[in-house]
Amino acid sequence: MIEQTDSLNRIFTKNKMDSVVEYQLAANSFMIRLKNNYKPTNVDMDFGGKVNEFKKLQRLFKKKHNHKTLSDEANVISNSIREEKQALYNLKMDIESGYGNKEKYDEFITFEQSKVTTIKVLLEQYLIRKKKDLPRFRKSLKELNDFMDKWEKENMPKKN
Protein backbone atom coordinates (compact mmCIF):
# COMPACT_ATOMS: atom_id res chain seq x y z
CA MET A 1 0.00 0.00 0.00
CA ILE A 2 2.88 2.37 0.70
CA GLU A 3 4.19 1.82 -2.84
CA GLN A 4 0.71 2.32 -4.25
CA THR A 5 0.33 5.59 -2.33
CA ASP A 6 3.76 6.74 -3.54
CA SER A 7 2.74 5.89 -7.09
CA LEU A 8 -0.49 7.89 -6.74
CA ASN A 9 1.55 10.80 -5.37
CA ARG A 10 3.92 10.69 -8.36
CA ILE A 11 1.00 10.65 -10.81
CA PHE A 12 -0.70 13.51 -8.98
CA THR A 13 2.48 15.60 -8.79
CA LYS A 14 3.13 15.08 -12.49
CA ASN A 15 -0.44 16.13 -13.41
CA LYS A 16 -1.17 18.85 -10.87
CA MET A 17 -2.31 22.13 -12.36
CA ASP A 18 0.12 24.93 -11.75
CA SER A 19 -1.52 27.88 -13.49
CA VAL A 20 -4.96 28.11 -11.90
CA VAL A 21 -4.54 31.80 -11.09
CA GLU A 22 -3.54 32.49 -14.69
CA TYR A 23 -6.74 30.84 -15.93
CA GLN A 24 -8.84 32.72 -13.37
CA LEU A 25 -7.32 36.03 -14.47
CA ALA A 26 -7.83 35.26 -18.16
CA ALA A 27 -11.47 34.36 -17.56
CA ASN A 28 -12.11 37.43 -15.40
CA SER A 29 -10.34 39.66 -17.91
CA PHE A 30 -12.53 38.38 -20.73
CA MET A 31 -15.74 38.83 -18.72
CA ILE A 32 -14.79 42.42 -17.80
CA ARG A 33 -13.92 43.13 -21.42
CA LEU A 34 -17.25 41.69 -22.53
CA LYS A 35 -19.29 43.70 -20.01
CA ASN A 36 -17.45 46.95 -20.72
CA ASN A 37 -17.23 46.80 -24.50
CA TYR A 38 -19.86 44.51 -26.00
CA LYS A 39 -22.95 46.60 -26.66
CA PRO A 40 -24.51 45.02 -29.74
CA THR A 41 -27.50 46.43 -31.57
CA ASN A 42 -28.80 42.89 -31.97
CA VAL A 43 -27.94 39.71 -30.07
CA ASP A 44 -25.80 37.08 -31.75
CA MET A 45 -27.34 33.84 -30.48
CA ASP A 46 -24.30 31.76 -31.40
CA PHE A 47 -22.04 34.11 -29.46
CA GLY A 48 -24.47 34.10 -26.51
CA GLY A 49 -24.39 30.30 -26.43
CA LYS A 50 -20.59 30.34 -26.43
CA VAL A 51 -20.54 32.83 -23.56
CA ASN A 52 -22.92 30.63 -21.57
CA GLU A 53 -20.73 27.57 -22.19
CA PHE A 54 -17.69 29.59 -21.15
CA LYS A 55 -19.39 30.62 -17.90
CA LYS A 56 -20.02 26.95 -17.14
CA LEU A 57 -16.38 26.12 -17.85
CA GLN A 58 -15.28 28.91 -15.50
CA ARG A 59 -16.42 26.63 -12.68
CA LEU A 60 -13.15 24.77 -13.17
CA PHE A 61 -11.47 27.71 -11.45
CA LYS A 62 -14.20 29.82 -9.87
CA LYS A 63 -16.10 28.60 -6.82
CA LYS A 64 -19.87 28.70 -7.10
CA HIS A 65 -22.21 27.27 -4.50
CA ASN A 66 -21.10 23.73 -3.54
CA HIS A 67 -19.27 23.13 -6.81
CA LYS A 68 -15.63 22.05 -6.39
CA THR A 69 -12.98 23.71 -8.52
CA LEU A 70 -9.98 21.83 -9.87
CA SER A 71 -7.91 23.50 -7.13
CA ASP A 72 -10.32 22.21 -4.48
CA GLU A 73 -10.04 18.70 -5.90
CA ALA A 74 -6.25 18.95 -6.06
CA ASN A 75 -6.09 20.09 -2.43
CA VAL A 76 -8.27 17.17 -1.28
CA ILE A 77 -6.07 14.70 -3.17
CA SER A 78 -2.83 16.23 -1.91
CA ASN A 79 -4.01 16.28 1.71
CA SER A 80 -5.42 12.77 1.44
CA ILE A 81 -2.16 11.37 0.08
CA ARG A 82 -0.13 13.09 2.78
CA GLU A 83 -2.44 11.87 5.56
CA GLU A 84 -2.57 8.35 4.17
CA LYS A 85 1.20 8.09 3.88
CA GLN A 86 1.44 9.05 7.55
CA ALA A 87 -1.30 6.58 8.53
CA LEU A 88 0.42 3.77 6.63
CA TYR A 89 3.76 4.60 8.21
CA ASN A 90 2.17 4.57 11.67
CA LEU A 91 0.41 1.26 10.97
CA LYS A 92 3.64 -0.27 9.69
CA MET A 93 5.51 0.86 12.82
CA ASP A 94 2.74 -0.50 15.08
CA ILE A 95 2.77 -3.90 13.33
CA GLU A 96 6.57 -4.13 13.31
CA SER A 97 6.79 -3.26 17.01
CA GLY A 98 3.79 -5.40 17.94
CA TYR A 99 2.03 -2.39 19.41
CA GLY A 100 -1.75 -2.25 19.75
CA ASN A 101 -4.44 -4.87 19.30
CA LYS A 102 -2.85 -7.54 17.08
CA GLU A 103 -6.23 -9.15 16.37
CA LYS A 104 -7.32 -5.95 14.60
CA TYR A 105 -4.29 -5.60 12.31
CA ASP A 106 -6.15 -7.16 9.35
CA GLU A 107 -9.08 -4.82 9.96
CA PHE A 108 -6.75 -1.81 10.06
CA ILE A 109 -5.01 -2.92 6.87
CA THR A 110 -8.36 -3.36 5.09
CA PHE A 111 -9.48 0.09 6.27
CA GLU A 112 -6.30 1.75 5.00
CA GLN A 113 -6.57 -0.14 1.69
CA SER A 114 -10.07 1.26 1.22
CA LYS A 115 -8.72 4.78 1.83
CA VAL A 116 -5.99 4.24 -0.79
CA THR A 117 -8.65 3.03 -3.24
CA THR A 118 -10.72 6.15 -2.54
CA ILE A 119 -7.70 8.37 -3.24
CA LYS A 120 -7.11 6.48 -6.49
CA VAL A 121 -10.71 7.11 -7.57
CA LEU A 122 -10.47 10.82 -6.65
CA LEU A 123 -7.24 11.12 -8.66
CA GLU A 124 -8.77 9.36 -11.67
CA GLN A 125 -11.79 11.70 -11.59
CA TYR A 126 -9.51 14.74 -11.30
CA LEU A 127 -7.41 13.61 -14.27
CA ILE A 128 -10.48 12.91 -16.41
CA ARG A 129 -12.02 16.29 -15.59
CA LYS A 130 -8.76 18.10 -16.23
CA LYS A 131 -8.15 16.29 -19.53
CA LYS A 132 -11.71 16.83 -20.76
CA ASP A 133 -12.57 20.34 -19.55
CA LEU A 134 -9.29 22.25 -19.57
CA PRO A 135 -8.83 22.05 -23.37
CA ARG A 136 -12.49 23.06 -23.80
CA PHE A 137 -11.89 26.07 -21.55
CA ARG A 138 -8.79 27.15 -23.50
CA LYS A 139 -10.55 26.74 -26.85
CA SER A 140 -13.62 28.59 -25.64
CA LEU A 141 -11.57 31.49 -24.26
CA LYS A 142 -9.61 31.80 -27.52
CA GLU A 143 -12.79 31.76 -29.66
CA LEU A 144 -14.46 34.38 -27.48
CA ASN A 145 -11.40 36.64 -27.40
CA ASP A 146 -11.08 36.31 -31.18
CA PHE A 147 -14.76 37.26 -31.57
CA MET A 148 -14.32 40.27 -29.28
CA ASP A 149 -11.18 41.38 -31.15
CA LYS A 150 -13.12 41.37 -34.41
CA TRP A 151 -16.22 42.97 -32.90
CA GLU A 152 -14.23 45.74 -31.20
CA LYS A 153 -12.31 46.46 -34.39
CA GLU A 154 -15.58 46.82 -36.31
CA ASN A 155 -17.65 48.60 -33.67
CA MET A 156 -15.52 50.55 -31.24
CA PRO A 157 -14.60 54.17 -31.90
CA LYS A 158 -11.08 54.63 -33.21
CA LYS A 159 -8.58 56.01 -30.69
CA ASN A 160 -6.34 58.83 -31.85
Chunked mean pLDDT (size 10), the chain, 160 residues: 90 82 88 89 87 90 79 92 96 91 91 97 94 92 94 78
In one-letter notation, the amino acid at residue 151 is W
Question: What pLDDT is recorded for position 65?
Answer: 74
Question: What pLDDT is recorded for position 2?
Answer: 86
Question: What pLDDT is recorded for position 40?
Answer: 82
Question: What pLDDT is recorded for position 146?
Answer: 95
Question: What pLDDT is recorded for position 160?
Answer: 59
Question: What pLDDT is recorded for position 80?
Answer: 97
